[in-house]
């Protein structure tokens, strides 16, 4: 792809990310984006149909990258079954600004549901091997519990400025899932 095309798309992505911090996608206009990047509306339309199309394509690119990232992660073990946790935190940290905006009040939580479907498909394949005794229903519950908790931990981490590394967050997640609250607090309530 031509470097100018790549640069224009990157600038548009940055502009959209910036605008999503203060307004919802339906309130962002092509003119606004074009002005922010100093291009004509015609140039915008060479790349995208409209602002919704742009956001959808950006999210689709991220999902494809996430799919590639998790596809090559080795299967976990019974002792360390959650092999995807660390690569997922690392992936979202690499896309921190957009991830944070998508989690915000003007973002798109549907993106995270679609990401969850990718992660779930891969996780379930691993868990069928690691835990053949789990019923499909229990496996669904397990994934829902882990993914929901991890997603909201990530939200707090992202909004809080990512003071911990992705690997530290992955380790907190693994410990909480494997051992519960007692694993992170000597004064656990339980």
pLDDT of residue 2: 86
Low-confidence ranges of the chain (pLDDT < 50): 188-190
What is the model's pLDDT at position 189? 45
The reported pLDDT for the residue numbered 190 is 44
Please give the pLDDT value at position 184. 58
Instruction: Supply the pLDDT for residue 125.
Output: 82
Q: Quote the pLDDT of residue 152.
A: 94
pLDDT of residue 187: 55
Dihedral, CA atoms, 17, 18, 23, 24, nearest 10 degrees?
Answer: -10
Predicted pLDDT at 183: 58
| Residue 17 token pair | 């990310």
d(CA 77, CA 130): 7
Burial label for 37, CB within 10 Å (0-12, 13-18, 19+), is buried
């Amino acid at each position: 792809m031509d470097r100018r095309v790549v640069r224009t798309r990157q600038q548009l992505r940055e502009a959209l990310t910036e605008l999503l911090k203060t307004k919802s996608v339906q309130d962002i206009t092509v003119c606004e984006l074009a002005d922010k990047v100093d291009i004509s509306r015609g140039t915008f339309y060479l790349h995208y149909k409209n602002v919704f199309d742009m956001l959808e394509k950006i999210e689709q690119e991220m999902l494809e990258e996430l799919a590639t990232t998790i596809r090559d992660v080795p299967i976990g073990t019974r002792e360390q079954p959650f092999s995807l946790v660390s690569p997922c935190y690392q992936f979202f940290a690499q896309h921190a600004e957009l991830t944070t905006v998508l989690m915000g009040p003007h973002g798109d939580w549907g993106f995270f549901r679609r990401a969850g479907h990718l992660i779930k498909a891969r996780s379930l394949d691993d868990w069928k091997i690691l835990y053949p005794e789990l019923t499909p229903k229990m496996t669904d519950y397990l994934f829902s519990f882990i993914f929901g908790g991890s997603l909201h931990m990530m939200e707090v981490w992202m909004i809080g400025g990512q003071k911990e590394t992705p690997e530290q967050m992955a380790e907190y997640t693994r410990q909480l899932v494997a051992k519960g609250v007692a694993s992170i607090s000597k004064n656990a309530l339980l």
